[in-house]
Amino acid sequence: MAVLHVNERQREGHINAEIYGHFSEHLGRCIYEGLYVGENSDIPNVNGMRKDVVDALKEMKIPMLRWPGGCFADEYHWKDGIGPKETRKKMINTHWGGVVEDNSFGTHEFFELCGQLGCKTYINGNVGSGTVQEMSEWVEYMTFDGVSPMADLRRKNGHEKPWKVDYFGVGNENWGCGGNMTPEYYANLYRRYQTYIRHYDHAAPIRKVCGGPNVADYFWTEGVLKTCFAPPQPEWAHGFMDELSLHYYVHPNGWDNKGSATQFDEEEWYRTMAKAIYMEELIERHGAIMDQYDPDKKIGLSVDEWGCWFDVEPGTNPGFLYQQNTMRDALVAGVTLNIFNKHCDRVKMACIAQMVNVLQSVILTEGPKMILTPTYHVFHMYKEHQDAELLHSYMEGNKTVGTKEDQVPFLSESVSVDADGVVHVTVSNLSVSEDSPVEVAFAELKPSSVKASILTGEMRAHNTFEEPDNVKETEFAGCEIAGDRIRFNLPACSVVSLRVS
Ligand code: AHR
């Protein structure tokens, strides 16, 4: 029996809703078809945005969306995507499949989408092939309310009032596709570019995201922070840098042999779990470097690209990164979100990659059809953690499970309390074959009611357009209140969420 101890008196920090954020890039069928079909499409839409997809994302409580990339961001020139659609420039999407990008989804469309979703906005600017002027004018176009060339252009294009930009990324992966820079070179550019991201709305300053490391590139983190915080120090305490990004994808067999999204064995399952858990070490080690420059933890580590990256589905365009999504993805999501919750003192924002039809998506589409993936259900089950307070919790008697090479903890958990005092517990069972009895023990709370839901299935179980409900969240009736404890038997390969009051 594993005992999950929860101390409701020990609140450990605020879980920013943006930890549950998403990423949408001009890549494959994410934007075009997945989100945007145009006003004249037969697929039901509101101002061009797919109604089925928007409704599902709202139901999942999407808090924030990052756009337009990714690697695409560093070759995106925002002025190509405004004004009458017939005159918008057509370009080659060199990173992703070499297809024609007609720019019919641009700045106005992005804000229309976020308005329909009711979510915060994260715009990623172009440092790799763009100028300071271009970036600074984009910010002016989007956020300035007065009379100016860019604000006037926005009005001419039909939008009177400025939009709200919550986050602005200064480049993307500038150690790689964003310009192959050294940390010092990028950091000097960061210092310069960020200067011109003006806070036109002083009541709602834009949070500036500095391009951070890939996986365990501690050299990058150290080099960027050292250069950014070297004298003459800008007014960093007032928003010079609000976030440092981290990108980490789980490839069970390495970059050159990613493996199938649906055809894998137990060995690969545990290797995937071990690689997902590695996220914790990355956060702690990059966080330790950040502590030297930012001991008060004002700067967030924003994991703005994470998720599983497998081989594309057979027969699909290799440049489109379209992959299926199984219970393995669900467990990776459950484990990762628990890690983010537990590190909410440093992780203030994150984006799973990517939202629709690309990599570890919550939604897949095929023409007019749409399915929800196992990962969607996990985000739905965890939604109550958004903007809740993390509670101190630990698992006593948590055994390990796995292969000789890859031993992982049986259970992963996190616990929060919301503004109404309701406690939310999420637990995953990483074993593919063994159930686990769990007891939740509170310090003070005498639970009188528990409502629970579960996502479970065989390790390769997934949804298809023919069988869209193979894997779905269902009510979990297996919880029993015994005095001040809650007991349940957690099936193998499952994620459970409990709502306790
Ligand atoms: O998400 C796919 C790609 O992965 C992004 O464009 C890039 O930032 C990362 O390498």
Residue of 177, 320, 322, 323 best suited for mutating to test ligand 1, as the one with most atoms within 8 Å of CB:
177
Residue whose pair of structure tokens reads 């391009």 in the numeric block: 211
The pLDDT value recorded for residue 238 is 56
**Domain layout of the chain by residue ranges:** 8-390
Residue whose pair of structure tokens reads 């890939």 in the numeric block: 214
CB of residue 70 inside a 6 A radius of ligand 1: yes
CB of residue 69 inside a 6 A radius of ligand 1: yes
What residues have CB less than 8 Å from 285, skipping those under 6 apart? 216, 218
Give the 3-state secondary structure of residue 57: helix
The pLDDT value recorded for residue 231 is 78
Residue of 23, 27, 173, 175 best suited for mutating to test ligand 1, as the one with most atoms within 8 Å of CB:
173
The pLDDT value recorded for residue 450 is 97
At the topology level, CATH places domain 8-390 in TIM Barrel (3.20.20)
Question: Alpha carbon 132 to chain centroid distance?
Answer: 27
Give the 3-state secondary structure of residue 392: strand
- CB burial class (10 A; 0-12, 13-18, 19+) of residue 197? buried
Give the 3-state secondary structure of residue 165: coil
The pLDDT value recorded for residue 201 is 87
pTM assigned to the model? 0.97
List, for the chain, all residue ranges whose pLDDT scores fall below the cut of 70: 234-239
Q: What are phi and psi of 71, to 5 degrees?
A: -55, -30
Q: Which amino acid, one-letter code, is at 302? A: S
The pLDDT value recorded for residue 203 is 83
In 3D space, the residue among 424, 395, 396 whose CA is nearest the CA of residue 412 turns out to be 395
> DSSP secondary-structure letter at 75?
G
Nearest CA to ligand 1 atom 3: 70
Q: What's the CA gap between 485 and 112, in Å, rounded?
A: 47
Helix (H) / strand (E) element for 376: namely helix 374-381
pLDDT tens-digit series, residues 136-188: 999 999 999 999 999 999 999 999 999 999 999 999 999 999 999 999 999 99
The pLDDT value recorded for residue 202 is 84
Q: What's the CA gap between 375 and 147, in Å, rounded?
A: 45
Give the 3-state secondary structure of residue 464: coil
CB of residue 304 inside a 6 A radius of ligand 1: no
